[in-house]
């Protein structure tokens, strides 16, 4: 009987030590989390992508959440380059009422954007928008160029952007 009690207290002590180590480990990982994700430091868009995106302008006109996790948005996009582009990839960051970052989501606009033309692009997608989100800021981070010569389709994509880039008009619903 004494041996069983001894095993009980030893197991209980071991469980408490392991639980304390688990809490400590989670706290350490929590401090490694950057404001915008795990170990996410300020990144830069690749030079080739920056060149392609320098000809593009984008402004978000509207964004609203619908039932079932669907999000609808409208964007005005201008392609100042010489090539047809499609599949604009956006990184949208969400902010609360105090302009504190609360999350981000990638979004792909599947429409084609002709060179020298201003387009209004409406898009809807299913993704999670944080409940506290009251503002959003989007920037272009990638696209696909379609050469007019009928050549090979070029895919341009930057690094995981956190820094400078083509941004929308700022925070707004």
Q: 42 near 135, Cβ under 8 Å?
A: no
| Those residues with Cβ within 8 angstroms of residue 8's Cβ, 6 or more apart along the chain or in another chain | none
Mean predicted confidence (pLDDT) in 122-149: 80
pLDDT at position 78 is: 92
Q: Which class for 76: exposed (0-12), middle (13-18), buried (19 or more C-beta within 10 A)?
A: middle
The answer to whether residue 36 scores a pLDDT higher than 70 is no
Task: Say which residue the tokens 């944080």 belong to.
Answer: 130
Mean predicted confidence (pLDDT) in 117-132: 80
Q: 143 near 116, Cβ under 8 Å?
A: no
Mean predicted confidence (pLDDT) in 85-111: 87
Query: Which of 139, 172, 140 is CA-nearest to residue 156?
Result: 140
The answer to whether residue 172 scores a pLDDT higher than 60 is no
Q: How far apart are CA 115 and CA 113, in angstroms?
A: 7
Render pLDDT for 10-33 as a digit per residue (tens, 0 to 9).
Answer: 888 889 988 888 877 766 655 444
Render pLDDT for 48-77 as a digit per residue (tens, 0 to 9).
Answer: 777 888 889 988 888 887 776 678 888 899
Secondary structure letter of residue 91 according to DSSP? E
Q: How far apart are CA 148 and CA 45, in angstroms?
A: 25
Share of the chain above pLDDT 70, in %: 71
Share of the chain above pLDDT 90, in %: 2
pLDDT at position 90 is: 87
């Amino acid at each position: 009987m004494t041996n069983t009690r001894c095993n009980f207290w030893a197991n209980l002590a071991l469980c408490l030590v392991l639980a304390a180590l688990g809490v400590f480990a989670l706290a350490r990982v929590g401090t490694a989390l950057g404001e915008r994700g795990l170990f996410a430091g300020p990144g830069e868009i690749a030079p080739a992508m920056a060149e392609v995106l320098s000809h593009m302008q984008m402004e978000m006109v509207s964004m609203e959440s619908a039932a079932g996790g669907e999000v609808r948005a409208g964007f005005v996009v201008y392609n100042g380059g010489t090539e047809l582009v499609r599949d604009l990839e956006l990184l949208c960051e969400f902010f609360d009422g105090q302009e504190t970052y609360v999350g981000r989501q990638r979004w792909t606009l599947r429409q084609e954007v002709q060179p020298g033309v201003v387009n209004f692009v409406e898009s809807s997608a299913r993704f999670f928008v944080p409940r506290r989100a009251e503002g959003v800021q989007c920037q272009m981070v990638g696209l696909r160029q379609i050469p007019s010569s009928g050549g090979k389709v070029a895919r341009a994509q930057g690094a995981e952007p956190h820094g400078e880039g083509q941004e929308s008009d700022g925070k707004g619903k």
